[in-house]
Every structure is written in structure tokens, then in C-alpha cells.
Amino acid sequence: MQGVNVKSEIGNLKKVILHRPGDELLNLTPNTLEELLFDDIPFLPVAQEEHDAFAKILREEGVEVVYLEDLMAEVLDAKPELRRQFLDQWIYEAGIRTEMYHDIITDYIESNYADTKAMVMKTMAGINLQELPQRDTHLLVDMVSDRCKLVCAPMPNLYFTRDPFAMIGNGVSINRMYSQTRNRETIYGDYIFKNHPDFVGTPEYYSRNDTFHIEGGDILNINEHVLAIGISQRTEPDAIDHIAHNIFNDETSPIDTILAFNIPVSRAFMHLDTVFTQIDRDKFTIHPGIMGPLTVFEITPDGKGGTKIRERNEDLESVLSEYVGQKVTLIPCGGGDRIAAEREQWNDGSNTLCVRPGTVVVYQRNNVTNDVLYKNGINCLVMPSAELSRGRGGPRCMSMPAWREAL
């Protein structure tokens, strides 16, 4: 499969990009949790087992699973001239500004990580000062620095492949992320989309060098013509204006309507996909906190190269029913039980990955919500979730579909 094709949230899933969590999780410490957007430290071996179970479920459903780290290694193996350029960029974006440290880190990587995939994984994991050869640098900073400090921070959120880039129809948005810790994740997507033979040539609707933030968890493909984007803690309205302009000006894109959903700016509502996800032609799981009226902006082309915007204040059910083209049912996380809803929402009960209409991957721990889904005729593929859930993302967040069949 060359290129990408994602024109819905529910079409038969054929190809998905994942990242198997690695040593980056070992570099999470209590002091850095907040900055690195985690609430606890997952136990890596179990997190990896859970992730492998996720990949197995998807393969058993006929989905081709490709890993971000493999795609990146393939790019660098096919074009060795990019290896040094990538390392220089990665070191710079890790905040290393002195030539001396740049050289120390480059030497360390080049002499210990000759294998490309191991090198890629190391850039994701981060580097502790202690790992580097002790040198008398004659720098005050080195005399007073803690030898245990991280010189290159880890990227523990990489297993949420949904966010750093996002497929929109046959195009991609390479995102500028809200947080410094996640912004470096987009380097991998940038290299892959510019160089990997399976993805090169994909129209790019947003660039990591653009000014405003936008994250993949806020981008939902409703159908071939309609795209939903959350205005959230992570996605700024200016970014939506910009991406709308680029999408409407791509003659190959059939998208003619962008719905910007104004959702509360808080960690509980982080992205649009923590608020609702589509699970069937006429069914969505939702965060119960979003059931009242909502402001939605309908953005369409004005026919003169610009856009026009209509503001609507309606409930989610009527807005989604109109654009999906049939009456939809919203299934609240936790059923009607407020405590179960809050508990399961905390573990992403409404964040499911649809592999075909009516079949979704869910976290085992959200058993109350999963029961409600069964009762609504949904086939739940249950994955273990004790450790992965500590990063505050569910099966949708942990996956980036690259190809879905037409409905």
C-alpha cells in the first residue's frame, strides 16, 4: 500500500502505525512526570506485553501493523546521508547548544549504536549524563551538575502514535505539538513522510514548522467530505484556520466541511478523541461531561480561496446525526453510573479503536463501559491495560491508522 487512505473512523482497518514502548519509560521519574505528561510510571515489561497483545489483536483482525521505529530505521538505512542530519537535529531539539556536547553525544551514539534501529530507539529513550564518557570539560556547569541528570530527555509519549501526525483522507498533518516534550516526537513523522517509499508524496496539510499547535487526537475523519477537529488544550483555533485553508486548496481532497468543536480546556478533555470516538455507522462513545450544548463552528470554502464560518450551539447528538447522515446514538462512558463514569473516563473508557463498523478495541479495565457497549451490539476486542493506561491514552491514542477501506 503506497500513501495513506483514511476517510472515516470506522472503515475496515488495513494498516496501522504503532510504537512499542521502550526504554523511554525507564527514564520517567516522579519529578519529571508532570512535565512529561504522565501520571504514574508504567512497569515496562508488562507495558510491552500489553502492547504486544494490542498488536496481536489487530493482526488477527487482518490489520498490517507497522512500527514507527522500523519505518524510521528503514528511512535512515536507505539514505545513510540522512543519519547525521537526523542526529544533529535531534541533538539540537533536545536542547544541546554547545559544540562540545554536540560532539560528545554524537561520538557516544555513533560508537555504541551502529545498528540503525538501536540508534533510533536510543534517541527515543534519552541519554543520562552518567552514560557519557567522563571528560574534563573545564566547564563550571559540569562541576556543579548532578551526574544523574538527563542530558537528552526521553519521549515517553511516543506510544501514543495518534498525536504527532495525523492522516486526513489521502493527506497528512505533521503536527506542531502543544508541549515541548512532545514536539520532538514529530521529527520521526517528518522524516518518514518526506523519505519513506511507502509514504513519500503524501500531501502535507500542516508542517511541524508552522506556528500554532495542533495534535492528532483532535482530528477525526467523519467521512470523505467532513473532518472534525477539536479546539482544545492541545489545538489552537489559528491552526484549524490554517489547515482548513490548506485542505480546501488541495484539489485532490473531497473534504468540503470542517467542524471545529470547542471543548473545555482541561486535562480531562485533553483531545477531541478523549471526548468521543466513533464505533459504528450510527454509534459513538462519549465522555458524559460533554452532553450539554456545545459550540461547533462549521467551516466551508467561500469559493474565492478563503473560508466562511457558521457558528452553531447545539447538542452533540444533533450535530453528529446531521453530518453522519443518520440518527446517531451516543453511549456514555460508565453507563449511567457517575462514579464508574469518572473512574473509567480517567482510563480512557470512551477512547476506542474501531477496526470495522461495530468492532472496537477496548481496555479491559473499563468493564462497566464495555458491558454497555456489548448491550448496544458492539463487538469489543479486549486488551490488557494495567500499565499502558498510566500514560492517559486509550486504544485510539495508541494507534495511527494509515489505511482504511471505503465504507
**How many chain residues interact with ligand CIR (CB under 6 A)?**
16
Q: How far is CA 371 from CA 132, 357, 362, 363, 382, in A?
A: 51, 18, 11, 12, 11
Is residue 392 within the footprint of ligand CIR (CB under 6 A)? yes
The count of other CB atoms within 10 Å of the CB of residue 265 is 11
Smallest CA-to-CA distance from 325 within 222, 406, 242 is with 222
**Strand-pair category, 171-174 with 204-206:** parallel
Find the shortest distance in angstroms from Cβ 392 to ligand CIR. Answer: 5
Residues 173-232 that bind ligand CIR (CB under 6 A): 182, 217
Find the shortest distance in angstroms from Cβ 173 to ligand CIR. Answer: 14
- Cβ contact 287:352 at 8 Å: no
- What CA–CA distance (Å, rounded) separates 183 from 55? 25
Q: Which of 19, 271, 283, 356 binds ligand CIR (CB under 6 A)?
A: 271
Smallest CA-to-CA distance from 236 within 218, 269, 212 is with 212
- Cβ contact 390:28 at 8 Å: no
Stretch that binds ligand CIR, among 187-195, 251-259, 322-330, 389-397 (CB under 6 A): 389-397
Contact mark string toward ligand CIR, 30..69, x via CB under 6 A: -------xx-------------------------------
- What CA–CA distance (Å, rounded) separates 125 from 25? 7
Find the shortest distance in angstroms from Cβ 177 to ligand CIR. Answer: 8
Which lies closer to ligand CIR via its Cβ, residue 274 or residue 370?
A: 274
Stretch that binds ligand CIR, among 60-68, 186-194, 292-300, 387-395 (CB under 6 A): 387-395
- What ranges in 126-264 are assigned the alpha helix state H? 140-144, 180-183, 186-195, 237-248
Find the shortest distance in angstroms from Cβ 274 to ligand CIR. Answer: 5
Give, as one character, the DSSP assignment of residue 306.
Answer: S
Q: Which entry of 152, 333, 354, 397 is annotated as an active-site residue?
A: 397
- What ranges in 253-404 are assigned the alpha helix state H? 272-275, 316-324, 338-346, 367-375
Residues 82-141 that bind ligand CIR (CB under 6 A): none
Q: Is residue 397 flagged as an active site residue?
A: yes
Q: Which of 274, 285, 359, 366 binds ligand CIR (CB under 6 A)?
A: 274
- What CA–CA distance (Å, rounded) separates 44 from 84? 30
Q: Which of 5, 12, 157, 277 binds ligand CIR (CB under 6 A)?
A: 157
Which lies closer to ligand CIR via its Cβ, residue 324 or residue 398?
A: 398
Stretch that binds ligand CIR, among 1-9, 113-121, 206-214, 385-393 (CB under 6 A): 385-393
Angle between helices 68-78 and 116-125 (to 10 degrees): 130
Which lies closer to ligand CIR via its Cβ, residue 87 or residue 240?
A: 240
The count of other CB atoms within 10 Å of the CB of residue 308 is 11
The amino acid sitting at 61 is E
Is residue 21 within the footprint of ligand CIR (CB under 6 A)? no
- What CA–CA distance (Å, rounded) separates 351 from 362? 8
Instruction: Write out the DSSP string of 94-135.
Output: TT---HHHHHHHHHHHHHH--SHHHHHHHHHH-EEGGGSPP-
Largest CA distance in the chain: 70
Is residue 162 within the footprint of ligand CIR (CB under 6 A)? yes
Stretch that binds ligand CIR, among 159-167, 202-210, 240-248, 363-371 (CB under 6 A): 159-167
Which grid cell sits at 372? 454497555
Which lies closer to ligand CIR via its Cβ, residue 384 or residue 393?
A: 393
Find the shortest distance in angstroms from Cβ 344 to ligand CIR. Answer: 15
Which lies closer to ligand CIR via its Cβ, residue 21 or residue 393?
A: 393
Is residue 160 within the footprint of ligand CIR (CB under 6 A)? yes
Is residue 9 within the footprint of ligand CIR (CB under 6 A)? no
Q: Which residues bind ligand CIR (CB under 6 A)?
A: 37-38, 157, 160, 162-163, 182, 217, 270-271, 273-274, 391-393, 397
- Active centre residues (catalytic): 397
